[in-house]
A and B are shown apart, each in its own frame.
Chain A
Amino acid sequence: MNFEFTEEQLMIKQAARDFAVRELLPDVLERDASSRFPARQMKMLAELGFFGMCVDPKYDGGGMDNISYVLALEEFAKIDASAAVVLAVHNSLACYGIEHYANEEQKQRFLPALARGEKIGAFLLSEPEAGSDATSQKTTAEDKGDYYLINGTKNWITSADNAGTYIVIAQTDREKKHKGINAFILDRHSPGISLGPHEDKMGMRSSDTHSVMFTDVKVPKENRIGEDGFGFSFAMKLLDGGRIGIAAQAIGIAGGAFDLALKYSKERKAFGTEICNHQAIAFKLAEMAVKLENGRNLVLKSAWLKDNGLPYGLQSAMAKQYCADSAMEITTEAVQIHGGYGYVKEYHVERLMREAKVTQIYEGTSEIQKIVISRTILKD
Chain B
Amino acid sequence: MSIIVFSENRTGKIKKHSLDAVAYAAHISKSTSQPIVAISIGNVSIEELAVLAKYGASKIISVNKENWQNHDSRAYTKLIAEIVEKENANMVIFNHSNIGKALAPRLSVRLKAGLASNVVALPVTISPLVFTRKSYNGSAFQHMQINSAKCVVTLNPNSCEVTENQVAVNIVDYTPTVEAEIKTKVENVDLVTGKILLTEASIVVSGGRGLKSGDNWKPVEELAAALGAGLACSRPVSDEGWRSHEEHVGQTGKIIAPDLYIAIGISGAIQHIGGISGTKVIVAIDKDKDAPIFSYANYGIIGDAFTVLPNLINSVKKFKAQ
Contacts and interface: CB of A to CB of B under 8 A. Distances in A.
Interface of A: 267-269
B239 to A, nearest CB: 9
Contacts of B290: 267-269
B292 interface: yes
A122 B255 CA distance: 49
A168 to B, nearest CB: 44
Nearest to B289: A269
A269 B290 CA distance: 8
Contacts of A268: 290
4 contacts: A267-B290, A267-B292, A268-B290, A269-B290
Nearest to B288: A267
A259 B290 CA distance: 18
Interface string B288-301: 00101000000000
B273 to A, nearest CB: 15
Contacts of B292: 267
Contacts of A269: 290
- Interface pairs A-B: 3 shortest CB-CB: A267-B290, A268-B290, A269-B290
A268 B291 CA distance: 10
Contacts of A267: 290, 292
B205 to A, nearest CB: 26
Nearest to B239: A26
A268 B290 CA distance: 7
Nearest to A268: B290
A111 B292 CA distance: 50
Nearest to B292: A267
Interface string B259-303: 000000000000000000000000000000010100000000000
A267 B294 CA distance: 12
A257 B290 CA distance: 20
Nearest to A26: B239
A93 B233 CA distance: 47
A313 to B, nearest CB: 46
B238 to A, nearest CB: 14
B318 to A, nearest CB: 35
A267 B267 CA distance: 12
A220 B292 CA distance: 63
Nearest to A264: B290
B234 to A, nearest CB: 15
A323 B236 CA distance: 35
A267 B288 CA distance: 11
Nearest to B290: A267
A157 to B, nearest CB: 36
A266 to B, nearest CB: 10
A269 B292 CA distance: 13
A268 B292 CA distance: 11
Nearest to A269: B290
A267 B292 CA distance: 8
A347 to B, nearest CB: 12
Nearest to B240: A26
A240 to B, nearest CB: 44
Interface in B167-224: none
A268 B288 CA distance: 11
A267 B290 CA distance: 6
Nearest to A267: B290
A267 B293 CA distance: 12
A73 B292 CA distance: 31
A108 B171 CA distance: 82
A177 to B, nearest CB: 59
Interface string B125-161: 0000000000000000000000000000000000000
A308 to B, nearest CB: 42
B251 to A, nearest CB: 16
A24 to B, nearest CB: 15
B297 to A, nearest CB: 16
A350 B292 CA distance: 23
A380 to B, nearest CB: 59
B241 to A, nearest CB: 13
Nearest to A274: B290
A267 B295 CA distance: 11
Interface in B291-319: 292
A27 B43 CA distance: 51
A13 to B, nearest CB: 22
